Chains A and B, each alone.
Chain A
Amino acid sequence: AQTVTQSQPEMSVQEAETVTLSCTYDTSESDYYLFWYKQPPSRQMILVIRQEAYKQQNATENRFSVNFQKAAKSFSLKISDSQLGDAAMYFCAYGHYPGDKIIFGKGTRLHILP
């Protein structure tokens, strides 16, 4: 069965600095998708970034980028120029084929220090 592990329950970063959130996963599939979701205090789940496993190029969305290491089954999220609005719970997630259920890690709570 697929699993997603986030080993950092909480992290803090100074405003304007860079922070990296870690995620590892386990799967026997060769083709799959990985996601990072953000859950701010409003509790809304927001898709931050997605990565297709067959693409070697790391996905980037503005200040958010990932470091995808397929062989190591690692998928970290880097947030550059951290802003107060980035304070949230971040969930790493795995999905296989289109329409498959998505499996979430337990999350990392990110604090932004002014």
Chain B
Amino acid sequence: DSGVTQTPKHLITATGQRVTLRCSPRSGDLSVYWYQQSLDQGLQFLIQYYNGEERAKGNILERFSAQQFPDLHSELNLSSLELGDSALYFCASSVDSGGRANYGYTFGSGTRLTVV
């Protein structure tokens, strides 16, 4: 167990629908990152939140949105789903130690989204 919890693990939904993916970061981590991994592809950065505020945005579609709540858990909302949105969605968290080092991320186990 990495300490980063993602739910659900699997999700099957129809085109046009809306889904919410949930992530609880590792205890003490303030930053949450969302990535999309399509079949046999690398990880595409979607968005980052730090202590409740959006910090960085990647190639995130307008149909997608996210937020981080006061308890630091985060949700990624995907709407008007298309077949091409089928992918593995990862959440990761990191220790932001105040500027001394970058220790990389701790990843959750991902949510496998299948749009049919």
Q: Which residues of A contact B (CB under 8 A)?
A: 32-33, 35, 37, 42-47, 50, 52, 91, 93, 95-107
Contacts and interface: CB of A to CB of B under 8 A. Distances in A.
B96 A43 contact: no
A4 B39 CA distance: 19
Contacts of A105: 42
Nearest to B99: A98
Contact of B97 (A42, A50, A98, A107): A98
Contacts of A52: 101
Interface residues of B, number: 33
Interface in B24-70: 31, 33, 35, 41-43, 45, 48, 50, 55-56, 58
A107 to B, nearest CB: 5
- Those 10 A-B pairs whose CB atoms lie nearest each other, nearest first: A45-B107, A106-B42, A99-B96, A33-B102, A104-B43, A98-B102, A95-B102, A104-B42, A35-B104, A101-B45
30 contacts: A32-B102, A43-B112, A44-B2, A44-B107, A44-B109, A45-B90, A46-B107, A47-B104, A50-B102, A52-B101, A91-B42, A93-B104, A95-B102, A95-B104, A96-B102, A97-B102, A98-B101, A98-B103, A99-B31, A99-B94, A99-B96, A99-B102, A101-B45, A101-B56, A101-B58, A103-B45, A104-B42, A104-B43, A105-B42, A106-B42
